[in-house]
Chain A
Amino acid sequence: MHDNATSPSHGEGLAPVENDFIRILKKRASSVAFWRGIASIVAFTLFWEFCARFHVPVIGNVPAPSEVLASLAVQIKLAYYWLSWADSMIRIFTGFIIAQIIGVPLGLFLGANNKARETLFPIFEIMRPVPPLAWVPVSVIFWPSAEMSMIFVTFLGAFFTVVLNIVEGITSIDIRYIRAAYSLGSTKRDIFWRVLLPASLPSVVVGMTVGMGITWAVVVAAEMIATNTGLGFLTWRGYVAGEYPIIVVGMMSIGLAGYLSSALIRYVGAKFTPWLKTR
């Protein structure tokens, strides 16, 4: 509460965006729902601590929050922990960005070109149901290094989602917009850049957000199987070495990393689709 009371005076000199942020924070902090949520988290943590201390069957095997916090305090001082973050992040973003670089133009092309879509789309339909993780063995054989094979499966996770979302986005554009654009004197090229592309942007953002989620699921599993670095491996190593608190530290780090990556995508996505803001 003390923080909230002082922050507006700090906020006054800041850019409007930050003022907005503080205002939203203040509004949240003054709502009953917010404190109910906080209370629930506190209660959950206490329950967990209780179960661990008193060795309640099943749940009691999980390391207690106090142990996890102690372990976290040690971990964040270790370079290895931050290297694990960096390794996973690099894999995620390399795979993800390559998926966008190839997937966005391909999706736009397939969406805008009926013949190409009819010809190539069935391949996607066949490939799509195969979970990206099922690709791990093949890609380990296929690619010369473990790093490349992991980036490849991450790429696959994001690639199909983004292509399918863009194609869906373009094919569901209302014909009115295209007709209106032609009426107003657009060429085919204008239609692509000023109608098809912006109209599909919301789907691109949704595709990227979902793709980012899939990417994290894939990279963590791939790290457990195919390498000895990254947050996935950190978690796995905690298990193998019998250092159970590290498992939970790893899990939480992965959760936080996934959340931050998705938040980044949403933030960038909102910048590209200003007309969708709900205020």
Chain B
Amino acid sequence: MNTAGFETADEKSRGAINIRNVTKVYDPDGACVLAVDNCSMDISAGEFCVVVGPSGCGKTTLLNAIAGFHGISGGEIYLDGELLCTSERMPKPGSDRIVVFQNGALFPWFTVLENVTFGPVMQGVMAKKDAEDKALHMMGQMGLQGISMNYPSEISSGMRRRVEIARALMNNPRVLLLDEPFRAMDALTKTVVHQFLLNVYDEYKTTIFFITHDLDEAIFLGSKVYIMTTRPATIKKILEVTIPRPRDFRILASPEYQRLRDECISAVHEEAVKAFKAGEREM
């Protein structure tokens, strides 16, 4: 196995994901729908991997399989060289693979601080006081001071998403799974949370598996952009984003960015048209 080197992985090189010929068939009411077809990806440890594809193409299916929310029908997924999923084996959700959801899943009934310390306290790896100290320290570094005693409903949506990322990082996960986390945000808030995520990534170098269908977001944030085909999903193209880090909004004007964007658009456009036509046929 090409991932054998990760068995002795240190802190900095955790979170390699190898997706091998994964297939997922949904079978509601006996009508088989092939969501993911023979899809393979190799995500190296510490990579900021962005997956782009048309709506409903099966991106989230992959993410949910890694997270342990549902199983796969064929193929294997490895995490740091260890077998994570097969068609027979569905992993339990765990704090080494934390998901940040599209609409956010901070618990409304807990304060920001209770939310951020939830992981370590639940797992019993930290005393409540220690977890709180760590959370406050971490939130301070991330520019999230002064809101620890607020309820999520009392802070802005951009703030909430940042808190949720902090909640995930408190568990020192091997991989951070982000499922279109900034989808419903306005353009201005997006620029703030994008910069935040870039800073966090530069600081923690956690492997990130980021799903989106916003191409600008994909190139601005990612190290590699995986473009998926329309359903059944498989990898159509992989773009290496060679723009150096740390990045900020100025790279949006660079020729390199424009080139990547054009390349990305042409690949995605084809799939979007296919998806659209398939939709029409179904109607």
Binding site for B on A (CB under 8 A): 174, 176-177, 179-187, 190, 194-195, 198-199, 201, 273-276
Q: Given A179-B67, A179-B69, A275-B151 in contact, is the A185-B105 Cβ separation under 8 Å? A: no
- Residues of B within 8 Å of A195, CB to CB, are 107
State the 3 A-B residue pairs at the shortest beta-carbon distance, nearest first: A185-B123, A198-B109, A180-B105
The residue among A187, A194, A195, A201 with the most chain B CB atoms within 10 A of its own CB is A194
Q: Which of B97, B109, B171 contacts A275 (CB 8 A)?
A: B109
- Residues of A within 8 Å of B94, CB to CB, are 183, 185
Which DSSP category, helix, strand, loop or mixed, fits chain B's interface? loop
When C-beta atoms are compared, the residue in chain B nearest to A273 turns out to be B109
Cross-chain contact B109 with A183 (CB below 8 angstroms): no
Cross-chain contact A184 with B109 (CB below 8 angstroms): no
B99 on interface, CB distance cutoff 8 Å: yes
- Residues of A within 8 Å of B109, CB to CB, are 198-199, 201, 273, 275
Q: 6 A-B residue contacts at CB 8 Å?
A: A181-B118, A182-B93, A184-B122, A194-B107, A201-B109, A275-B153
Q: How many residues of B contact A (CB 8 A)?
A: 27
The A/B interface has a contact count, at CB < 8 Å, of: 67
A203 to B50, CA, bound (A): 39
Cross-chain contact A176 with B93 (CB below 8 angstroms): no
Q: Which of A176, A177, A190, A276 contacts B122 (CB 8 A)?
A: A190
- Residues of A within 8 Å of B122, CB to CB, are 181, 184-187, 190, 194
- Residues of A within 8 Å of B68, CB to CB, are 182-183
- Residues of B within 8 Å of A186, CB to CB, are 122
When C-beta atoms are compared, the residue in chain A nearest to B67 turns out to be A183
Interface residues of B in 99-149 (CB under 8 A from A): 99, 101, 103-105, 107-110, 118-119, 122-123
- Residues of B within 8 Å of A194, CB to CB, are 107, 110, 118, 122
